[in-house]
Structure 1
Amino acid sequence: MARQNMFEFYAAVCREHEIQINPYIIQVLKDTTETDRSVTLKLTGNNRLTNVQRLSDDDVRALSECLRNNHSVSAGLDVRYNNITDEGVGHLVGLLQEDGSALRSLDLMFNNIQRDGAEVLAKSLQCNSTLLSLRLSGNKIGNRGAMHLAGVLQVNSTLKELQLADCDLDTQSVIAFAIVLKSNRALVSVDISRPLLFSHQEECAVHFSEMLVVNSSLVELHLGKMGMTNTGMERLTEGLRLNHSLRYLDLRCNRVTRDGVRLLAELLKQNQTLEIVDLSSNRIEDEGAGYLSEAIAWPGCALREWVQHTQTNRIRTTSVLHQAVCQQQQHQVGGSAVSGSGSDSQHYSEPPLHLGEPPGGVCLSGLQRADRQRPPASGADRCQRVRGGRSGVSRGALPQFEEKLLQHKRLRYKHILHLRHVNRPADRLHPAATR
């Protein structure tokens, strides 16, 4: 089938199976045929710029049959925010099971996929050697569906990114993923945020700490909304001390206080790989901010970005944060360093950070997504972004530096201290949530 006739072939399949033609699919297929290279077919159901008719299982049936006869869409298939159920997944897995499959990325986030759909996907991944990214966040696959996916990771050696946030995982399946990651050497990015955990014994943190000791391939780990306390942070830092690969750690919306941050700050002084830590919507307070500021200014700290918010973490003083960033500029850390003094100072910078991006343009890194989704700075009571300027900044020049920062919003220097407004203060939480 010629590429120029792909949308005509889709219409023919719809007529053959008596399926109503989806005009949104027709328009996207017409736009796709204008290029001569492999592309990602984007059929997202939350596109507000065009009139979108969300995909149903029948639409997926016709689309998958069309794509099986055309291998031009080899970079990926993006069908998030649609009405795809387990039946629709049964049609899509044909793209993964056929010989010569070229699909590298499959995005099914926020559909209506449940346990049976996850089981079908897991079986298809046993014999697939091309898929690099699978995103299932927002689908209620539950514990049994997650166990099927954890089991297939023992066999599959090509998948690099797996997103299972808000999938109703429980303690058993979360621990299963931690155990599998001890032997899996392919996964680079894992997101299991917001599981349904009812235990207060921090079993998940213990198992992930043991995993980090032996895993040497994982670069990005998302553990947000897990109810982690200082005890869990203590266990996690024990594993991070012996880990030399993790660069992005997401701990947002947990219950970490200043004591847990003190343990993390001591780790950051010694860890040479961890570059981004998300601590937004925790309870670190002024003392916790002081611990982190001391770690940021430490000569051996590799931290490039720290995400948190002054109000949700009950931080009342931000001047110490500015001082830490200015001190960090004077050391050769991460992406930039300043050497010499006065007018003889020289600046060195590294190229932008890109993790796990395979050929074909499939982005696997939250480091890049964070740069695109970060809100703009606007005022002292909202998010603030502190970056180093083009020239060295001393403590005495802080007022001038802040004034220049407000005038120039697009600075290229990569040392970032990002304070985001995400949640409400801890003193407004229900007493049952603080136990």
Structure 2
Amino acid sequence: MSVRPDLHQHYVRACQDLGQPENSFIAHVLQEADKNDKIRWAKGITLKIAGNDRLVPVQRVTDDDLKVLTSVLPNTVFVTGLDLRCNVLTDAGAKHMATFLQENATLRYLNLMFNNIGTSGTELIARALHEETTVHIALMLKNNSSLVELHLCKHEMKNFGVERLCEALYENSSLRYLDLGCNKITRDGVKFLAELLKRNRTLEILDLGANRIEDDGATDLSEALALYNRTLQALSVVSNNVSGQGLVALSDAMKTNTELSYIYIWGNNFDEATCTAFSELIKTGRLKPNCTDVEPYEVDGHVHLAELSHGLRKHYYWTPSCGEVTNKDANASLAIAAVSEYL
């Protein structure tokens, strides 16, 4: 819910809470904004806190000042612009701004020129802007009842973005295919996905290929799949730095969850326990050979796994020069959740 007038009062209170003295220039700008209530609610406003303003006395904005200001603004939907040029902000201030950008979905204009922000601060803001698109997508998903397939691969999404996305998907009942491959999701981000799987009843395909969920992330997913979820049909954890502990946990989940039929694990760290576990799944018929990307073989009494050219979308952007695609196991997602008009 948006914060209606009294920006200045909110600022004063935030300064007290954070033990930070008020910046007289910021206080003046917020007081002026409070006077223009009708204009700001109709069109939105830009807070002009430029350090080179010659019309009023200026106290240039520091990193600590910005920390207080950004704590006031996340819920103020009418603030659509921030002009902070010509102040004394450094990389520490850029970090505060990056955090704000990840939480805010209404800011359209930001000017930080002629500050003392270096390379690391600029990178923080750039990464936050990538995450901001995820926040916008998450807001859309809360109210969208028609989208069934969403691909966010190579989006530089991190754990914060996953958390926002999962929060939105709690209220979504249409999405069937979620592709989060080739991002920067770690075991901490997977915790949110595991909680989502415990409650979600529509998602059928989850692609986490080429992230870094490791054993802890795989174990969290396994628990959700073994004990709670009965709608997910396909999971890809290809190239996620998962070793025996996590991979065996996933194989155990398949023994109790009969709905999960497709699993792709190549590119992780296979030990003998992993090879034996997946070999048994295949030999017993629980996991069909065309529904995974590994094939067991034996050398000197030891089981190993070889790679198969199978996957959810392995050849998605390739088509033969003539005839139809014969190896449908390389694009298994098309058979599980074929939703586009092309299909």
Question: TM-score w.r.t. structure 1 length?
Answer: 0.41
C-alpha displacement of 1:128:
1.1
Note if contact 2:297-2:303 (Cα within 8 Å) is conserved in structure 1.
Answer: no
Unaligned runs of 5+ in 1: 1-15, 19-56, 63-81, 265-277, 281-305, 309-364, 377-408, 419-435
Q: How far does the alpha carbon of each residue in 1:258-290 deviate from its partner, in whole angstroms, 9 at most, with x for none?
A: 4399858xxxxxxxxxxxxx933xxxxxxxxxx
Counterpart for residue 184 of structure 1 = 229
Residue aligning to 2:172: 128
**Distance in structure 2 (CA, Å) of the matches to 1:134 and 1:84:** 21
Matched, 1:175 2:219: yes
1:179 Cα deviation after fit: 2.0
Are 2:248 and 1:206 equivalent residues in the alignment?
Answer: yes
Match of 1:398 in 2: none
* Alignment of 1:97 onto 2:142: yes
Amino acid at match of 1:90: V
The residue type equivalent to 1:141 in the other structure is I
Offset of residue 141 of structure 1: 2.0
Deviations 1:35-94 (A, max 9, x none): xxxxxxxxxxxxxxxxxxxxxx99xx79xxxxxxxxxxxxxxxxxxx9962222111111
Q: Which residue in the other structure is 1:249 paired with?
A: 292
Asked whether the 8 Å contact 1:231–1:260 carries over to 2, the reply is no
Counterparts in 2 of 1:121 and 1:410: CA distance versus 1, 3 Å: same
SS at 1:153's partner residue? helix
- Does 1:279 pair with 2:322? no
Q: 2:261 matched to 1:216?
A: no
Correspondences of 1:284-295 after superposition (within 5 Å):
none
SS of structure 2 residue aligned to 1:154:
helix
Query: CA 1:193 to 1:178, structure 2 compared with 1: closer, same or farther past 3 Å?
Result: same
1:259 alignment partner in structure 2: 299
Measured in 2, the distance between the counterparts of 1:261 and 1:279 equals 16
How has the CA–CA distance of structure 1 residues 94 and 412 changed in structure 2, closer, same or farther, with 3 Å as cutoff?
Answer: closer
Q: 1:260 to 1:413 in 2, by over 3 A?
A: farther
Deviations, residues 300-337 of structure 1 (Å, cap 9, x unaligned): xxxxxx549xxxxxxxxxxxxxxxxxxxxxxxxxxxxx
Where is the helix percentage greater, Structure 1 or Structure 2?
2
Cα deviations across residues 121-147 of structure 1 (Å, max 9, x unaligned)? Answer: 111111210111111111112111111
TM-score by length of 2: 0.51
**Does residue 142 of the first structure (1) align with residue 186 of the second (2)?**
yes
The 5-angstrom pairing of residues 32-181 of structure 1 reads: 85-98=130-143, 101-181=145-225
CA contact (8 A) 2:236 2:264 kept: yes
> Residue by residue, what CA displacement relative to the aligned partner does 1:85-111 show, whole Å, maximum 9, x if unpaired?
22221111111112x522212111111
The Cα of 1:187 is off from its aligned counterpart by 1.0
Q: How many Å separate the matches in 1 of 2:195 and 2:255?
A: 21
Shift of 1:158: 0.3
* Identical positions, percent: 20
Structure 1 runs of 4+ aligned residues shifted over 6 Å read 415-418
RMSD: 3.9
2:240 corresponds to which of 183, 195, 202: 195
Note the C-alpha offset of 1:239: 3.3
**Secondary structure of the corresponding residue to residue 181 of structure 1:** helix
**Contact 2:218–2:247 (8 Å) recurs in 1:** no
Aligned residues: 211
Q: Secondary structure at the match of 1:279?
A: strand
Contact 1:168 1:194 in 2 (8 A): yes
CA gap of 1:232–1:250, structure 2 versus 1, over 3 A, is same
Alpha-carbon deviation of 1:170? Answer: 1.7
